Amino acid sequence: MAKNVFYAQSGGVTAVINATACGVIETARKSRKIGKVLAGRNGILGAFREELVDTSQESPSAIAALRHTPSGAFGSCRYKLKSIEENEAEYMRLLDVFRAHDIGYFFYNGGGDSQDTAHKVSQLSTDLGYPLTCIGIPKTVDNDLPLTDTCPGFGSVAKYVAVSTMEAGLDVASMAESSTKIFVLEVMGRHAGWIAAAGGLARDSANAPPHVILFPEIAFDKAMFLAKVKATVDRVGYCVVVASEGAQYADGTFLADAGASDAFGHTQLGGVAPALVEIIKGAHGYKCHWSVADYLQRAARHIASATDVAQAYAVGEAAVRFALEGRNAVMPVIRRRSSSPYRWDIDEAPLNKVANVEKKMPRSFITRDGFGITSKAKEYLAPLIMGEDYPPYRDGLPKYVRLKNQLVRKKLPPFEPS
Amino acid sequence: MAKNVFYAQSGGVTAVINATACGVIETARKSRKIGKVLAGRNGILGAFREELVDTSQESPSAIAALRHTPSGAFGSCRYKLKSIEENEAEYMRLLDVFRAHDIGYFFYNGGGDSQDTAHKVSQLSTDLGYPLTCIGIPKTVDNDLPLTDTCPGFGSVAKYVAVSTMEAGLDVASMAESSTKIFVLEVMGRHAGWIAAAGGLARDSANAPPHVILFPEIAFDKAMFLAKVKATVDRVGYCVVVASEGAQYADGTFLADAGASDAFGHTQLGGVAPALVEIIKGAHGYKCHWSVADYLQRAARHIASATDVAQAYAVGEAAVRFALEGRNAVMPVIRRRSSSPYRWDIDEAPLNKVANVEKKMPRSFITRDGFGITSKAKEYLAPLIMGEDYPPYRDGLPKYVRLKNQLVRKKLPPFEPS
């Protein structure tokens, strides 16, 4: 008999995680071996609470529109599953819900923590004899999953950051003679500098912005930074800085947290960009502007990378294919066949090799002075932002879909995870 | 004999001011009555310094590409001309440069201050008997020029803010159950709330974001704000706030400056968005995210409004037409013929009625509680963001043009304005 799929979105959402959902649902709908796709309302919380969205209630056009709709259509969550020894009740609950709703496939769409959850659930089914095929599906703007060439979600943030850096760079260049000389753009990346690195794609000549990139991987040296900024202004007339939110001093103190509270215990207002602007103004007195992209960067479906959208869809499609082929405890990954011309396909990786491993920027991707990206990094990054994949518009605004999100009838007593 | 045009870009640049330059240059090239268009290097500073870009050196395709290139291609400046009584030497210098380069037309492309400059220069030519046709060309993201229905540059920022609010709103909605409940987007607008108001276009139903908009025109009431945020979270699950950088308390203190320095005289890091987040966290403890759009919003040619691009081009074209028709000391303005369907044309306004007048949001555009926009505001704003006008891309990045910007040979001794 055709078993149902449980699909859930986990962790920070992206511009293209719904494209993955679209890939899962459209592919599952084509198979007679799969019943319904039931989506967790707010990620794994939906499984615990037996809040399962019945995606069979959604029209083909609504599902198709997921491909161009940012964010998590079913809701996401931040929730890390403990080990079975620590919290057996939660695992038992998951099995109860899966059993009650005839779920034979568990698809978990997320980053490192989520792949850990997928891995734990896959062990559970083996240990407790409940037949469940577990597939992890990669997603994270941080691009820090191992074994995959890139992570769906990253390419679109990379494109947003590269385009925004180019645009703001032109702006500052126009103003620099009599006004703003410094622009600082703060981007995501608490542990890895992939997103900041993407800003470097905007640089098409020696004097073009960005002139300085700050990575979490490179200890922040205030004197060197200030010297670089001044030398750039002296030479080019202005200076554009792209900074990871995770930029930090050698002792591990985040720039955003430095001086986080004064003598009265008042919390200072955070952000790497304003912190850098204070440092620059204090030393050089330049007029500065700064921007914090935050959610705008990861939600910016309007400027998504066509490559990223295609890959996000492909991993969703592959998850269903893998499941139907009986593979278990694996994650589809993107394999690069060549950079120029860019060719890629889908491969697989075992979940136990993916969970809890964080891929940082290789040192060879960062220039010797620590303030820029190398041609090797550009070769890696450039294909990921290729192509535009615009959503349809109506009255000047994107036509993003909101699903009905109708829940299936509950069969079990209430349960709330700890 | 065909006189030359002096054209200059002034004040903060926009995503479409180069579309105006494109309109000026393409139209001037078609007329036998006009010689060359000489563009001021860095605005009016280029006239003082005799740094005049010879646009006749640029190919037709380079000039055409200005239409889709953000920022100020010739450089802009922040410089307010004093009265002739206060600084006669500067006015004399302008006339010397105009005479030396056979300039008969003065086109000044900017906001309120710039129209004041254009107006002063127009008086000069009458007073001193130098034949000069002065045309002001409107430009400002602030949308605060009088007599024109809208200002080129505003529609594209409005579209950026509306789209970004919609996208970030979907993101927070996905995360709210177990993580972020508040998102604050800070946008430009120190004196007028037009840009923040545009965020309201994203709201397509009663519970859709943005839930709160903060305008400089409405005194910030902390208690009412906190109550509104809490009521929204209780009802909808999350709350999205769009705040003008100029949001202020009843006594005129900007939120961004409140508590700007502590007892030690340390400057706190500014920004309305982080200030609001501190207020919300302090009162309600919600997890918050915030973004400061800053230059990204006004440089975002990648998501420009097609309406705005067309109007920016049209005012440039009209400036040349007005000049050829012998009109003087006027500014082309956009006249709305109807909102639905949207129809507009170009009219003219005298510079003495434009200079130094600031158009704020009418109270009737803001809801009674001061936290949203009315249907009247929506009717006004909606047409301005209509249509997409994407730049061409190569390798995933927009193909923005950089001009040669070759200067004409200087004929006069050096001069530097005070």
The answer to whether the Cβ–Cβ distance between A291 and B289 falls below 8 Å is no
Q: Which amino acid is at B192?
A: A
Contact present, A24 and A313 (Cβ < 8 Å): no
Instruction: Indicate the range of B125-134, B178-187, B259-268 predicted with least confidence.
Output: B259-268
Q: How far apart are CA A73 and CA A405, in angstroms?
A: 8
Closest Cα of chain A to B92: distance in Å? Answer: 22
For A62-96, give the DSSP string: HHHHGGG--S-TT---------TTT-HHHHHHHHH
Reading the block at residue B14, the tokens are 């926009």
Mean pLDDT throughout A88-92?
91
Average of per-residue pLDDT across B320-347: 97
Considering chain B, what percentage of its residues have pLDDT values greater than 70? 97
Mean pLDDT of B255-283: 72
Residues 6+ apart with CB under 8 A from A359: A143, A144, A145, A146, A192
Residue A348 in this model has a pLDDT that exceeds 50: yes
Does position B228 have pLDDT exceeding 60, yes or no? Answer: yes
Q: Is B303 on the interface with A (CB under 8 A)?
A: yes
- How far apart (Å, rounded) are the C-alpha atoms in residues B15 and A166? 12
Give the minimum alpha-carbon distance from B348 to chain A in angstroms, rounded to a whole number: 28
Residue B356: its pLDDT value, please?
81
> CB–CB of B120/B135 below 8 Å?
no
Is B387's pLDDT higher than 60? Answer: yes
B397 in contact with chain A, both atoms CB, cutoff 8 A: yes
- The Cα B40–Cα A170 span in angstroms is 17
**What ipTM did this prediction achieve?**
0.97
Instruction: Give pLDDT, residue B113.
Output: 87
pLDDT tens for A206-265 read 999 999 999 999 999 999 999 999 999 999 999 999 999 999 999 999 998 865 444 444
**Quick check: A121 pLDDT over 70?**
yes
- So what's the pLDDT on residue B248? 95
Which whole number is the average pLDDT over A309-325? Answer: 98
Query: Cβ of B234 under 8 Å from any chain A Cβ?
Result: no
For residue B268, pLDDT over 80 is answered with: no
- For A339, other C-beta atoms within 10 Å of its C-beta total 15
Strand pairing category for A182-187 and A288-292: parallel
Q: Is A345 on the interface with B (CB under 8 A)?
A: no
Query: Between vectors from CA A30 to CA A24 and to CA A31, what angle results, nearest 5°?
Result: 90
Q: A273 in contact with B at a CB cutoff of 8 Å?
A: yes
Q: What is the mean pLDDT of residues A192-212?
A: 97
Beta carbons of A302 and B397 less than 8 Å apart: no
Q: What's the gap between Cα A269 and its chain centre? A: 25
B267: pLDDT strictly greater than 60? no
Burial category of A59 from C-beta neighbours within 10 Å (exposed 0-12, middle 13-18, buried 19 and up): exposed
State the smallest CA–CA distance between residue B174 and chain A in angstroms.
4
Domains of chain A in sequence order: 3-140+301-357+386-398 (3.40.50.450), 154-299 (3.40.50.460)
Q: How far apart are CA A170 and CA A23, in angstroms?
A: 38
Average pLDDT, chain B: 94
Residue B74: which of A286, A166, A173 has the closest Cα?
Answer: A173
Distance CA B295, CA A238 (A): 14
User: Among A271-280, B84-93, B315-324, which range has the highest average pLDDT?
Assistant: B315-324
Q: Does B124 touch chain A (CB under 8 A)?
A: no
Alpha-carbon distance of A413 to A181, in angstroms, equals 62
- Best mutation target among A71, A109, A167 (most B Cβ atoms within 10 Å) is A167
pLDDT at B127: 81
Give the up-direction half-sphere exposure of residue A293: CA atoms within 13 A in the CB hemisphere: 31
Predicted pLDDT of residue A69: 98
CB B389 within 8 A of CB B398: no
Which residues on neighbouring strands pair with residue A3, listed in sequence order?
Answer: A34
Question: Does residue B357 surpass a pLDDT of 90?
Answer: no
- The secondary structure element, H or E, covering residue B273 is helix B272-284
Mean pLDDT, residues B203-230: 97
- The mean per-residue pLDDT over the stretch B43-63 comes to 98
Active site residues of A: 142
Task: Give A281's contacts (C-beta < 8 A, 6+ positions apart).
Answer: A288
Query: CB–CB of B121/B104 below 8 Å?
Result: no
pLDDT tens digits for range A366-413:
999 999 999 999 999 999 999 999 999 999 999 999 999 999 999 999
For A277, the closest chain B residue by CA position comes to B269
Q: Residues A363, A364, A370, A372: what is their CA dihedral angle, to the nearest 10 degrees?
A: -130
Q: Is B142 a catalytic residue?
A: yes
> Are A268 and B270 inside 8 Å of each other by CB?
no
Question: How do residues A80-89 score in pLDDT, each as one tens digit?
Answer: 888 888 888 9
Q: What is the DSSP string of A152-220?
A: TTHHHHHHHHHHHHHHHHHHHHHHTTTS--EEEEEE--SS--HHHHHHGGG--STTSSP-EEE-TTS-B
Residue B11, token pair as written in the block = 């004040």
